[in-house]
Amino acid sequence: MMPFCSVCGNLLFVQEAETGKIRLVCRICPLFRNITKTLVNRGEEAWKNVDSTEETCPKCSHPRAYFMQLQTRSADEPMTTFYRCCNHQCSHNWRE
């Protein structure tokens, strides 16, 4: 979700305040909002409940890997496939 200014409707930008806190600021109006919550890197959580396929790990040559597809570029570009080795001692990540 993109944050917009409630006064002028322009896009809000992230800025570090003098106090060291992070806030959203409007470049047109004097409006700002302090950011009180931060996003947590989903890391391991993103790999729960994903399917596996026959894909050889480039690091350990294990024959299976978990995979997920995400749209990382514009809609007219193909999706990016991310892999994680099924060998838990390796767990190498790569993308196609």
Binding annotation for Zn(2+):
5, 8, 26, 29, 57, 60, 85, 90
- Whole-angstrom Cα distance, residue 87 to residue 83? 12
Strand order in the sheet with 12-16: 12-16, 22-26, 32-34
Residue numbers in the known binding site are 5, 8, 26, 29, 57, 60, 85, 90
The first and second tokens of residue 67, run together, are: 């995979």
Query: CA-to-CA distance for 14 and 37, rounded, in angstroms?
Result: 13
Task: Supply the DSSP symbol for 46.
Answer: H
